[in-house]
């Protein structure tokens, strides 16, 4: 299939494909597309093994229950990594260990600096997503498609936070 050997698809083709994934999500799992609660399921599974008292928090117990919804989302994000790997191998779009844009965005080509920034960024991203109860997928793709008022507010705040941060803390790429 030559389609799969191309490096770049139109954003409209990819967007339609992603939007269609709501069909199996709603029909089979009775939920909407989302990604960030899987971080709670996986992170808390490890953390509660080190500190069993964590299990007394209802929020943790709810995310660690072996329900279809919880494990479906962990499988979904695992599948994202597999799908991206397959797609990259088919098109031969090999990547450097770090994207070349970071040397300019951070004003430094130190890989340790990039790793440190990435860790802090991941922390902020998930701490924020859990406060808001959703990320780009749950609030963005799914919440906006459902015309949710709260999700629209969260997405506006997300783009505002992202634009301010990328303009003030990062250099022009």
Partner 1 sequence: MSSSVGIAILTGLLMGIVFGIALEKSRVFEPGMIVGQMQLRNFIMLKIFLTAVATGAVVLAVLNGFGFVKLQPKATLYAADLAGGALLGAGIALAGACPGTTLAQIGVGYRDALFTLAGGLCGAVAFSYAQPWLDKALIGTGPKLIFTDLVGIPFWQGAIGLSAVIAVILVLMERARSWRNDLGQDSDGNFAGGAEPFRHRAAPAE
1 binds partner 1 (CB under 8 A): no
Binders of partner 1 in range 37-56 (CB under 8 A): 39-40, 42-44, 46-47, 54
CB 19 within 8 A of CB 141: yes
User: What is the nearest approach in angstroms of partner 1 to the Cβ of residue 89?
Assistant: 9
Closest CA to 18 of 37, 32, 29: 32
Q: Among 1, 2, 52, 81, which residue sits at the site for partner 1 (rule: CB under 8 A)?
A: 81
What are the angstrom distances between the C-alpha of 41 and each of 61, 77, 119, 126?
A: 9, 12, 19, 12
Q: Among 1, 2, 7, 49, which residue sits at the site for partner 1 (rule: CB under 8 A)?
A: 7
User: What is the nearest approach in angstroms of partner 1 to the Cβ of residue 40?
Assistant: 5
Give the contact letters, 133-172, x = binds to partner 1 (CB under 8 A), - = no.
Answer: xxxxxxxxxxxxxxxxxxxxxxxxxxxxxxxxxxx-xx-x
8 binds partner 1 (CB under 8 A): yes
Size of the site for partner 1 (CB under 8 A): 141
Q: Which two tokens stand for residue 9?
A: 């698809």
User: What is the nearest approach in angstroms of partner 1 to the Cβ of residue 118?
Assistant: 4
Packed helices 68-91 and 37-50: angle between N→C axes, nearest 10 degrees: 110
CB 54 within 8 A of CB 48: yes
Q: Among 1, 52, 92, 96, which residue sits at the site for partner 1 (rule: CB under 8 A)?
A: 96
d(C-alpha 114, C-alpha 82), whole Å? 24
């Amino acid at each position: 299939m030559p389609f799969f050997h191309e490096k770049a698809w139109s954003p409209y083709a990819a967007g339609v494909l992603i939007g269609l994934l709501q069909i199996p999500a709603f029909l089979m799992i009775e939920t909407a597309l989302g990604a960030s609660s899987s971080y709670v399921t996986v992170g808390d599974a490890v953390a509660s093994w080190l500190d069993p008292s964590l299990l007394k928090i209802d929020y943790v117990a709810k995310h660690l229950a072996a329900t279809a919804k919880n494990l479906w989302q962990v499988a979904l994000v695992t599948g994202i990594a597999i799908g991206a790997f397959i797609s990259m191998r088919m098109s031969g779009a090999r990547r450097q260990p770090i994207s070349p844009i970071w040397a300019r965005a951070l004003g430094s080509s130190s890989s340790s600096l990039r790793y440190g920034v990435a860790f802090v960024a991941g922390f902020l991203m998930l701490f924020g997503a859990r406060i808001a109860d959703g990320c780009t997928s749950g609030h963005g793709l799914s919440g906006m498609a459902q015309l949710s008022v709260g999700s629209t507010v969260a997405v506006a705040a997300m783009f505002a936070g992202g634009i301010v941060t990328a303009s003030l803390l990062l250099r022009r790429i």
